Amino acid sequence: MQVDRTGLLRDSFEGTWKGTWKDKKVAVKRIQIENVENNLGEEALQKLDHPNVVKLYHVESTSDFRIYALKLCQLSLSQLFHGNEDQKKYGEKMPPEKEVCLQLAMGLAHIHEKGFIYWDFKPQNVLIHPTGGKVLMKWADFGLSKPQNDRGSISTTEHNKRPDDWFAPEILIIKNNMDRTTPIRQEGTVMSDVFSTGLIFGYYLLKGRHPYGFNFNIPTNIIKNTPDNLTAIEEQQPMRAIIMDMLKNNPNERISSADVVTRIANIK
């Protein structure tokens, strides 16, 4: 696998670069060995085969890193709104809002159908890939994804690797009630995935603004159920009602990922 060190896609110590694998242009991601938990992210990617999920082509290791060759995409949802000028201009090529949300909903439903919980939600992990005259939206970065247990949930202590801004309220409440000096056992479920996807939908419709406000206020607003910025989405916008049903504070009242697909598909 060849890596173009000048083609940095994500700026971090572990890093993601452009590269080549078997004459195919790929995104090459490396993760420190000690941060790879039982190869569960690899297991998720290898079992998932869907146009709205990033494809894993190859995995190899060095003494320090686990290295992945993945489908190379154009940019992330975060870059679409907050990247450089060329990345922002890509918005002119994006499909209608309904199509963007429907693709992501179908990708999430596939993840759940295969028995996995995605968990690692943030705009940086939603990728945009043009192909054959069409733009495909893809869920990426499955390092925190895990198979569901017998209760239909996952337990994890990976609380420092994901921004609080994209958690469901039930997860934030657990985090706030625990001693930060000890590992936090968080119970992620398919319904917490639905809530986080609703946040991503709102972020897209709000052109890069978080549905629950700004900066340090976001986690508190999520817990208090005060989605400040969602009022900017007009009530007649069909996606708004769907998003609101995804963002119910009570997880038992949220619609399922399969229901999200059906409702978006039925928008006229």
Residues of the chain with pLDDT below 70 are 1-14, 35-45, 142-162, 178-187
| DSSP per-residue string spanning 95-162 | --HHHHHHHHHHHHHHHHHTTEE-----GGGEEEEEETTEEEEEE---TT-EE--TTSEEEE--TTSS
Strand order in the sheet with 75-76: 75-76, 126-131, 134-139
Whether 36 is covered by a domain: the verdict is no
pLDDT of residue 51: 94
Whether 257 is covered by a domain: the verdict is yes
pLDDT of residue 156: 53
Total-model pTM: 0.86
Question: Which domain, by its residues, includes 106?
Answer: 75-265
Whether 10 is covered by a domain: the verdict is no
pLDDT of residue 143: 55
Kindly give the pairing relationship between strand 186-189 and strand 153-156.
Answer: antiparallel
Number of domain units in the chain? 1
pLDDT of residue 52: 95
pLDDT of residue 147: 53
Whether 178 is covered by a domain: the verdict is yes
Structure tokens at 266: 């039925």
Whether 217 is covered by a domain: the verdict is yes
Q: What CATH number corresponds to the domain at position 252?
A: 1.10.510.10
Whether 211 is covered by a domain: the verdict is yes
d(CA 104, CA 258) in angstroms, rounded, equals 12
Whether 161 is covered by a domain: the verdict is yes
Whether 26 is covered by a domain: the verdict is no
User: End-to-end distance of the chain based on CA atoms, in angstroms?
Assistant: 46
